């Protein structure tokens, strides 16, 4: 899809891109061959395409991420998928003095996880192995939260699925988007970010490994599901534009952690009773 893209170029918006496609100028190669008449706009497009080809050959995902509108950044995914990672964090709260409790990463093959007081300090080095970060609401939450609390600039290319899914009409938070797309969390259904805080508090208070396992199961489920949401959003956009670059559904992924349902039910009852 990326080489069919023109809306990242200067002076080319969605309407101009549509007009180019309607004229049979579908790819960068088409444009270089057909936009051969001298003129400011043609020259600008040709120059931009030559630069885009160079950046793509260099594997510069960030160049395209910065140039594309937020709702169109899904176009990066297929070309840079091999260097992509899905990221999600859990915290003790949302205030400036709150802390990161766990971070989960999933690259389509393997899961990595980081826990405060254990291996959280390994995250800054590990994230450097990826060139494209994919989150839900990471632009305003996950990435700024990490930058503020760790020596970690996170200056890679970034796709925030909140905006990609929002442009398709899916809004209201990650769990609501999952439900709208038929993703079932099983035993983790009903566990949310606020309950993740309760799980961490229980772990710190009692040392109960079931609390940490449940928290990690929840955190990792987020990043596993982000891959499915990314692929479905990509395909919905591609289909709507009439292109055929459809991606297959990802294979099933086994979450390495399972929730302690006795603990979840007990904590849920005590939290609700307190409220």
Is 71 inside a domain boundary? no
Please tell me the predicted confidence (pLDDT) of residue 242: 87
Average pLDDT over residues 170-182: 93
Supply the pLDDT for residue 275: 47
Pair 184, 264 in one domain: yes
Domain with 54 in it: what CATH number? 1.10.150
Report the pLDDT value the prediction gives residue 272, as an integer from 0 to 100. Answer: 57
Q: Kindly state the percentage of the chain with pLDDT values over 70.
A: 99
Both 247 and 181 in a single domain? Answer: yes
What's the order of all strands across the beta sheet hosting 84-91? 111-115, 100-106, 84-91, 132-135, 157-160
Q: Assign 3-state DSSP to the chain and report helix, strand, coil percentages, each to 5.
A: 55, 10, 35
pLDDT band at 274 (very low <50, low <70, confident <90, very high): very low
The rounded distance, in Å, linking the Cα atoms of 217 and 270 is 21
pLDDT for position 109: 95
| Range 162-170 average pLDDT | 96
pLDDT tens digit sequence for 180-217: 999 998 889 888 888 999 999 999 999 999 999 999 99
What DSSP element (H or E) covers 237? Answer: helix 209-241
- Please, what sign has the CA dihedral across residues 252, 256, 262, 264? negative
Per residue in 21-70, pLDDT (tens digit) is 999 999 999 999 999 888 888 999 999 999 999 999 999 999 999 999 99
Report whether 216 contacts 120 (CB < 8 A). no
Domain-located, residue 67: no
Residue 268 above 90 pLDDT?
no
**Residue 9 pLDDT exceeds 70:** yes
Q: Which residue range forms the structural domain that includes residue 150?
A: 83-274
Verify that 101 and 209 share a domain, yes or no. yes
CATH number for the domain that contains residue 239: 3.30.420.10
- Average pLDDT of the chain, as a whole number: 94
For residue 52, give both structure tokens. Answer: 């885009």
């Amino acid at each position: 899809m990326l080489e069919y893209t023109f809306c990242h170029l200067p002076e080319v918006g969605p309407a101009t891109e549509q007009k180019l496609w309607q004229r049979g100028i579908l790819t960068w190669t088409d444009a270089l061959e057909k936009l051969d008449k001298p003129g400011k706009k043609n020259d600008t497009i040709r120059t931009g395409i030559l630069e885009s080809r160079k950046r793509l050959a260099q594997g510069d995902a960030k160049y395209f991420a910065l140039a594309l509108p937020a709702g169109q950044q899904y176009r990066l995914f297929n070309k840079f998928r091999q260097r992509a990672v899905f990221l999600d964090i859990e915290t003790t709260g949302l205030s400036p003095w709150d802390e990161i409790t766990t971070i989960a990463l999933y690259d389509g093959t393997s899961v990595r996880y980081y826990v405060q007081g254990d291996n959280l300090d390994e995250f800054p080095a590990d994230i450097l192995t990826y060139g494209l970060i994919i989150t839900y609401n990471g632009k305003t939450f996950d990435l700024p939260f990490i930058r503020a609390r760790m020596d970690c600039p996170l200056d890679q290319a970034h796709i925030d699925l909140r905006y990609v899914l929002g442009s398709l009409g899916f809004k209201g938070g990650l769990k609501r988007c999952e439900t709208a797309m038929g993703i079932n969390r099983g035993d983790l259904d009903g566990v949310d970010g606020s309950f993740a805080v309760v799980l961490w508090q229980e772990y710190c208070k009692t040392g109960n490994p079931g609390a940490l396992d449940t928290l990690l199961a929840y955190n990792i489920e987020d990043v596993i599901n982000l891959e499915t949401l990314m692929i479905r959003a990509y395909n919905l956009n591609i289909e709507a534009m009439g292109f055929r670059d459809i991606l297959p559904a990802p294979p099933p992924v086994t979450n390495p952690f399972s929730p302690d349902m006795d603990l979840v039910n007990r904590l849920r009852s005590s939290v609700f009773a307190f409220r």
